[in-house]
Every structure is written in structure tokens, then in C-alpha cells.
Amino acid sequence: MISVSAGAGHDRAAQAIAAVAAESFRGRANAEWMDALRFTSSAFRKLYADSYLLMANRAPRLWGLLYSSMNSPVKPTARRAIRLIDHISYHRLVEAVRRRRPDAIVCTHFLPANAVLARRGCETGAPPVYVVVTDFDVHAHWVAPGAAGYFAASDAVAAILRGLGVPADRIHVTGIPIHPVFSKKRAASEIRREVGLDGPRRPVALVMSGGFALASMEDAVRRLAGIGADLLVVAGRNERLRTRLAKAAKGAPHVRVFGRVSNVHDLMQVSDLIVTKAGGLTASEALARSLPMVLTNPTPGQEERNADHLLEAGAAVRADSPEVLELKVRTLLGDRRRLAAMRRSAAAAAHPRAGRDILGRILSDLNP
């Protein structure tokens, strides 16, 4: 499994497949995960990893324009130039892959897929390369000529891939792979005790930053603190954000602020809804937990498309300002029938077995 640590979702998808291999395919498949950026220069690594987050936070419209303007089939001359750059730039990555002598290569980002295929050339006996799309949309740059197969999040993503020239028989609709822990449940009373929900039973709203700051997140937490619900607020790796959110929640006894956590699956299980960005992995995890979503300020580009998919499925509503967010969360938590309907819609749209289906398909290809 090869990912790129530009945002957390690509890594989590690769780690999820590796976890499924260890849990459900023991003795049949061994999976190793690696981050492609570890095999590039530190300057390139920082630029590549930080550029999306910087634009998404500071200039989201610019990111949306770039996403749209580059979202067309890559012309042959440009494709040759890209392959030449990949051939030169990622030799350390390709050599690391060769040393491991895999039977198949699974990429959860387009960069390693194109890089490995560019260096491979016409080698005989080279392992097949598979591409796992990690959003409910797919950009033209995800198309890697020579890839053995593509795993799509939805029928719509499969249709886009066909439109970009990918043969239909190489596209498999599996959903986005998530860690198998999201298919398991514990006693809710035990989880509630562990996270401090040991007082009178109230509605619970989970608020997640998605790895970087939500627009006006501090204001949102202040507003949601007064709606009569318990708030579980996850700042993730952003320690500065965690400190600011803890300050914003000071004096609000029903707000609990966490930094980086390893029990998101538990937090989702005991929540009535989640407030989050429209990332493909977080959304897929919420769907597996049948958890209604309130989507905040989707970044133009893939997040907008993710939001459209979730809204159409009936599993989410959207709020683009703290005022509207407060209204939507308060209204949903007060409408149990609507929450129940959204839970059913989320469950219907979920693909909790995506990782197993992906590995099963690859093993079938390798052992027809």
C-alpha cells in the first residue's frame, strides 16, 4: 500500500486496507504501508504536504479554480512530460518498492501510481498497480495509464472514470476503504464513561476539525455550547487549535475538547450527529456508523463533490456559517424522526466492507 501524507485521508485508506489484510486475510495476504513522500526531498515533502492545506484554508476559491481548470483528460504530450518527471523524481520510491518484491501495488493517491508506472516502463513480470479513489469524486490526474484496476467510491465515480477513458472492466465500485473497527461496537455505557458522558443523558454532537481548522470553528463551538447538548470536540493534530477551542469552551461543562484521538469510532458510536468537513474518509466512517452529518464549509473541489453526494444520499445537511450551523444542529437534535431517517440513509449509503472487497478482487486477479 502506498499513500501520500497530504491530508490524513490517503494514509488512513491505505492503513485501513493493511488492517483488513491482517484481520480478514491472514495467511492469504500480507500488506505493508508506505508514504511516498518519505522517499522525496524534505523540501518537496513539505511543499506538497502543506500546499493543499494552505490553499484550502487561506484561498479555497483558488484551489477550486485549480481543481476545475486541471480536471480534463491529460493530453499525450503533457502525459509524456509528466511521466518523464515522475521517472526522474521518484526513483527512490520505486527502488524501495522493488526491494520489497510485492505481488501487487495498491495506491491510495495518484502520485505514487503514476510514479511507479512511469519508472516501470516495459519491465517483464512487474506487479500490477491498483488505484483506490478516496473521495466521492475523481480528478483527471487520478487516471494512471497502465493501472490494472480502479476502486471507485460510487457509481458516479465509476462513470467519471469511464468518461476519462478508463476501460469499464478495470473499474470496481467498492466504496472507500475504512478501518474494520468501524464495523464493530462496544457497550455504549462503557464508551460514555470513558469520554466523560457520565451525567444526565443529553443529545451528543461530535465536532471534528478534519486535521485542520474549520472556518470560524471557535465561534461555532461557543454557539453550540449553548444548545443543551453534550459536545465532543476533536481538534486532531492541530495543538494550537486544541488550545484555542479549550479556551472557547471554558466555563461550558458539557463541552469536552480532545486533541489527536485513536477512538473516533467510539466517539461516533455514542453521538447523535457529527459536524465535520466533507472529507471522503471521515464521511465514509460516519456512514458506516449510520451517523447523520452536518457539513461545514466544504472546500471547492473534491469536498464540494463529496458534500453533493452525501446531501443527495440524505445522510447530511450543510451549514456554511456559525449562525446556520447552530440552527441546523439545534433543529436536528430536536427532531428525532428526522435524525432516524438520516441514520437509515447513512446506513444505506455505507460500504463498511470496502477494504475486504478491494483485497478480495486483487487476490482474485492474482489467482484466477
CATH number (domain holding residue 291): 3.40.50.2000
Across 72-76, 124-128, 308-312, the highest mean pLDDT is recorded for 308-312
- Is the pLDDT score of 260 beyond 80? yes
pLDDT tops 80 at residue 306: yes
Cβ neighbours around 301 below 10 Å, total = 22
Q: Does the pLDDT value for residue 346 go beyond 90?
A: yes
For the segment 99-121, the average pLDDT, to the nearest whole number, is 83
**Model confidence at 122, in pLDDT bands (50, 70, 90)?**
very low
Contact 271, 232 (CB under 8 A): yes
Q: How confident is the model at residue 119, as a pLDDT?
A: 61
pLDDT confidence of residue 301: 83
228-249 average pLDDT score = 87
Question: How deeply is 234 buried, as exposed, middle or buried, from its count of CB atoms within 10 A (0-12, 13-18, 19+)?
Answer: buried
Residues 358, 295, single domain; the answer is no
Percentage of the chain surpassing pLDDT 90? Answer: 52
**Which residue, among 171, 129, 123, has the nearest Cα to 151 in the 3D structure?**
171
Separation CA 12–CA 5 (nearest Å): 9
Least-confidence region, from 10-19, 72-81, 224-233 = 72-81
The angle at the Cα of 347, spanning 335 to 341, to the nearest 5 degrees, equals 25
Q: Which residues lie closer than 8 Å to 4 by C-beta, 6 or more apart?
A: 10, 11, 35, 36, 37, 48, 49, 108, 109, 111, 112
Mean pLDDT confidence for 22-38: 86
Is the pLDDT reported for residue 211 higher than 50? no
pLDDT value of residue 304: 92
Least confident of 8-12, 61-65, 126-130, 215-219: 61-65
* Lateral strand order in the sheet of 204-208: 255-258, 230-234, 204-208, 273-276, 293-296, 316-319
Closest CA to 163 of 134, 186, 194, 140: 140
Q: Does the pLDDT value for residue 295 go beyond 70?
A: yes
| pLDDT of residue 287 exceeding 90 | yes
Least confident interval from 25-39, 41-55, 295-309, 321-335:
41-55
What mean pLDDT comes out for the span 297-301? 83
Enclosing H/E stretch for 308:
helix 302-313
Calculate mean pLDDT across residues 171-197. 95
State the sign of the Cα–Cα–Cα–Cα dihedral 278, 280, 282, 287.
Answer: positive
Q: Within this chain, do residues 337 and 266 fall inside the same structural domain, yes or no?
A: yes
Query: Does 340 lie in the same domain as 234?
Result: yes
Give yes or no: residues 305 and 357 share one domain: no
Question: Are residues 303 and 275 part of one domain?
Answer: yes
Q: Region 119-129: what's the mean pLDDT?
A: 67
- 165 with 243, same domain: the answer is no
What's the pLDDT score for residue 47?
61
Number of domains in the chain: 2
> Exposed, middle or buried, 100 (CB in 10 Å: 0-12/13-18/19+)?
exposed
Residues 147 and 11 in one domain: yes
The C-alpha cell at 321 is: 456559517
Taking residues 105-132, what's their average pLDDT?
80
Do 92 and 50 sit in the same domain of this protein? yes
Q: Say if residue 149 is in the same domain as residue 11.
A: yes
Q: Residue 216: what pLDDT?
A: 73
Q: How far apart are CA 166 and CA 149, in angstroms?
A: 9
The per-residue pLDDT for range 126-146, each reduced to its tens digit, is 899 999 999 999 988 899 888
Mean residue pLDDT across the chain: 85
* Domain containing residue 49: 2-178+352-366
The pLDDT assigned to 94 comes to 81
Residues 345 and 356 in one domain: no
Identify the CA nearest to 338 among candidates 315, 309, 308: 315
Arithmetic mean of pLDDT, 137-160: 93
Residues 105 and 228 reside in one and the same domain: no
Among 156, 141, 151, CA closest to 1 = 151
Residue 38 is predicted with a pLDDT of 82
Which residues, other chains included, contact 12 with Cβ-Cβ below 8 Å and sequence gap of 6+?
178, 179, 281
Q: Are residues 270 and 356 in the same domain?
A: no
Of 20-34, 108-122, 224-238, 260-274, which has the strongest mean pLDDT?
260-274
Dist CA 172 CA 12 (whole Å): 20
Q: Rounded mean pLDDT of 23-51? A: 77
Better pLDDT: 3 or 37: 3
